């Protein structure tokens, strides 16, 4: 016969197995959107039980727009200690992502972090070490990995059918933002608030996808233009050159100052060229491996024969809701996550390398010199806009 403690523990375990009670720390644009999706029932097996924000007006919004059963807190640490949650989603300004993830994991809660994983890799590496020692789930909100186009492309690359990568070019300039956007919150577009500009706010998803699809480069040479198109202290225009193991090269271009913008990912492999644009995946497939053709062709000008294919996908693109579903189901049933939390350091390594390359006006090798990066970042924080 079980004692009272055993029954209580059993009921607690049964409750956990039936749904994940989620708390959201930071309910601004992103956190508020996630909260609304969960309250609307778009995420089976997950229930929103608490939210936290340092701004009372956001808590007032939560009380007016979310379930009356959702508890509100002015401090994320208090939410974590409340006993109201099995897991937390961190949607605060960037510097606080690792702090709250670590606190949650160390206090027995699962954690899902919004992008980016942090501002600098040294901070994120500490978070990853805590996660590796924890028996709790740690995930990243890499919602673009749910996109059928990128999932299909990754499948094709990993199958080996495309041969070796030769070149990657990503023009991602459809992030247009006005001065009003940057003025909408005091922490935006500052070294002390966001820790960076377009690379750290808008582009973490593309940097994650770049390494998820192509692997990590070995060298980076970047040019980050600060306040080029807006009255801000951080970068709003970036061009970076990348070198990968095996000889492949790449160019990554982004800005918040182009209208209309472009989102075109073009990859050249030994077996042809793939383009991701306008939600479609097209493949100009060579009849023979280009390397083989180059060495055996008798004509000096003839191009290998190709066929143009439109690649079919499963059409599924669940985005943030898909990540939340996978997070809940992984906790409850052990099914796969969309992205492990410890993978967040990879895309951040790319942005850190781009910043450092631009600041030092030289090519940098990866893994990036974390101490040198932090030293240079802190110089900018010391002279940058103060954030309350």
| pLDDT tens for each residue of 240-281 | 999 999 999 999 999 999 999 999 999 999 999 999 999 999
pLDDT band at 30 (very low <50, low <70, confident <90, very high): very high
Residue 296 φ/ψ, nearest 5 degrees: -115, -15
Least Cα distance to 87 among 11, 25, 44, 10 occurs for 25
Assess if residue 83 is contained within a domain. Answer: yes
Residue 105 lies in a domain: yes
Tell me: pLDDT of 5 over 80. Answer: no
- Judged against a pLDDT cut of 90, whether residue 11 lies above it is answered with no
Question: Domain check: are 169 and 297 in the same one?
Answer: yes
Query: Whose CA is closest to 109, among 128, 132, 137?
Result: 137
How confident is residue 388, by pLDDT bands cut at 50, 70 and 90? confident
13 and 110: one domain?
Answer: yes
Do residue 161 and residue 237 come from a single domain? Answer: yes
- Is there a domain that residue 325 lies in? no
Find, among 349, 379, 342, 377, the residue nearest to 364 by Cα: 349
The answer on 76 and 11 residing in a single domain is yes
**Residue 17: what pLDDT?**
53
| For residue 374, pLDDT beyond 70 | yes
pLDDT of residue 185: 87
Looking at the domain assignment, is residue 138 inside a domain? yes
Q: What domain range is 12 assigned to?
A: 4-143+333-340
Q: Where are the beta strands (DSSP E) in 227-271?
A: 235-243, 249-255, 263-269
Residues 177 and 246 both lie in one domain: yes
Mean of pLDDT over the chain: 95
CB of 301 within 8 A of CB of 137?
A: no
In this structure, the answer to whether residues 59 and 166 fall within a common structural domain is no
67-71, 182-186, 212-216, 277-281: least confidently modelled range: 182-186
pLDDT score at 264: 98
Distance, CA of 230 to CA of 257 (rounded, Å): 8
With H, G, I as helix, E, B as strand and everything else as coil, classify residue 309. Answer: strand
Q: Counting every residue, how long is the chain? A: 388
- Indicate whether 111 and 155 sit together in one domain: no
d(CA 174, CA 185): 21
For 194, 256, 262, 279, 375, the CA distances from 95, given in Å and listed in that order, are 7, 22, 29, 32, 16
Coil, helix or strand for 321? helix
Predicted local confidence at residue 87, as pLDDT: 98
Q: Both 137 and 170 in a single domain?
A: no
pLDDT tens figures, 124-160 = 999 999 999 999 999 999 999 999 999 999 999 999 9
pLDDT of residue 228: 98
Q: 387 pLDDT exceeds 50?
A: yes
Residues 127 and 171 in one domain: no
The answer to whether the beta carbons of residues 197 and 203 sit under 8 Å apart is: no
- 165 and 112 fall within a common domain: no
Paired with 47 in beta bridges are: 21
Same domain, 101 and 165: no
Average confidence (pLDDT) over 281-296? 97
Q: Are residues 190 and 306 in the same domain?
A: yes
DSSP 92-130: S-GGGHHHHHHHHHHTT-EEEEPSSS-SSHHHHHHHHHH
Using one digit for the tens of pLDDT, what is the confidence trace for 157-210? Answer: 999 999 999 999 999 999 999 999 999 988 999 999 999 999 999 999 999 999
pLDDT at 2 over 70: no
Residue 328 lies in a domain: no
Over range 57-83, report the average pLDDT.
Answer: 97
Domain annotation covers residue 39:
yes
Tally of domains within the chain: 2
DSSP assignment letter at 387: -
């Amino acid at each position: 016969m079980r004692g009272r403690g055993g029954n209580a523990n059993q009921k607690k375990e049964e409750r956990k197995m039936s749904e994940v009670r989620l708390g959201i720390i930071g309910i601004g644009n992103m956190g508020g959107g996630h909260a609304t999706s969960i309250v609307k029932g778009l995420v089976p097996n997950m229930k929103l039980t608490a939210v936290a924000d340092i701004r009372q007006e956001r808590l007032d919004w939560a009380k007016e727009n979310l379930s009356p059963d959702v508890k509100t807190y002015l401090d994320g640490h208090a939410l974590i200690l409340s006993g109201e949650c099995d897991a937390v989603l961190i949607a605060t300004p960037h510097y606080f992502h690792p702090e709250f993830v670590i606190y949650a994991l160390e206090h027995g809660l699962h954690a899902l972090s919004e992008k980016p994983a942090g501002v600098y890799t040294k901070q994120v590496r500490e978070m990853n070490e805590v996660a590796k020692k924890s028996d709790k789930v740690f995930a990243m909100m890499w919602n673009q990995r749910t996109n059928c186009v990128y999932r299909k492309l990754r499948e094709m690359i990993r199958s080996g059918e495309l041969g070796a990568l030769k070149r990657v070019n990503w023009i991602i300039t459809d992030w247009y933002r006005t001065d009003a956007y940057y003025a909408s919150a005091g922490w935006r577009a500052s070294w002390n608030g966001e820790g960076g500009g377009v690379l750290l706010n808008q582009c973490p998803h593309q940097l994650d996808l770049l390494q998820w699809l192509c692997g990590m480069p070995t060298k980076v040479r970047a040019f980050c233009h600060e306040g080029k198109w807006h009255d801000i202290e951080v970068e709003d225009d970036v061009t970076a050159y990348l070198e990968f193991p095996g000889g492949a090269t790449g160019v990554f271009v982004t800005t918040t100052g182009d209208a209309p913008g472009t989102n075109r990912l073009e990859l050249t492999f030994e077996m042809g060229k793939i383009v991701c644009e306008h939600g479609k995946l097209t493949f100009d497939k060579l009849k023979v491996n280009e390397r083989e053709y180059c060495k055996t062709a008798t004509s000096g000008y003839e191009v290998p024969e190709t066929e143009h294919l439109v690649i079919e996908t499963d059409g599924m693109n669940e985005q943030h809701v898909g990540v939340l579903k996978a997070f809940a189901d992984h906790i409850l049933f052990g099914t796969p996550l969309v992205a492990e939390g410890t993978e967040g350091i990879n895309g951040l390594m790319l942005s850190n390398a781009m910043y450092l390359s631009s600041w030092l006006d030289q090519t940098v090798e990866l893994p990036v010199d974390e101490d040198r990066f932090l030293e240079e970042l802190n110089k900018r924080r010391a002279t940058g806009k103060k954030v309350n």
